[in-house]
Amino acid sequence: MQYKKLIQYPEGAKNNGIQGTVIIAEIDAKGNVINTKILEGIYPDCDEVAVNAIKQVKFNPAIEINYQ
């Protein structure tokens, strides 16, 4: 994924063995990040890096199919 190139793991997290997943983005129908919020953080420095990286990404929006 393209956002992984934007993430530099914080030294404090590396030194303390911190790892995990940060859930942060709300995406609009066009694939733009419209809201960021730490829903599940792992370490303040990691959370900040993740938010800054995700703000730079353009996503491919999903297609909703109305099955009836």
pLDDT per residue rounded down to tens, the chain (68 residues): 566 677 778 888 888 888 887 777 788 888 888 888 887 788 888 888 888 888 888 888 767 676 55
List alpha helices for 16-67, DSSP H.
Answer: 44-54
Size (the chain), residues: 68
Query: Which is nearest to 55 in space by CA: 35, 30, 28?
Result: 35
**What is the DSSP pairing of strand 33-40 with strand 23-27?**
antiparallel
> Locate tokens 């730079």: which residue?
56
pTM (whole model) above 0.85: no
> What pLDDT sits at residue 67?
59
